[in-house]
Amino acid sequence: MKHVKTLNNKTLKETMKKGGCGECQTSCQSACKTSCTVGNQSCENK
């Protein structure tokens, strides 16, 4: 595309297919302990 650069290909909807295994890290255990930041966790079920 000439006017648009898309930074990611995978969409959230696709993750409905095999998501929800729950093996990923609990967000508050990582560093914050006060704010909920989930977007930066990694999926363990790639």
Binding site for other proteins (CB under 8 A): 1-13, 15-16, 18-20, 22-46
Q: Could you give the CA distance from residue 46 to residue 39 in angstroms, rounded to a whole number?
A: 16
Beta carbon of residue 32, minimum distance to other proteins (angstroms, whole number): 6
- How far is Cα of residue 29 from the mean position of the Cα atoms in its chain? 16
- Structural tokens at position 13: 């909807």
Beta carbon of residue 46, minimum distance to other proteins (angstroms, whole number): 6
Beta carbon of residue 13, minimum distance to other proteins (angstroms, whole number): 6
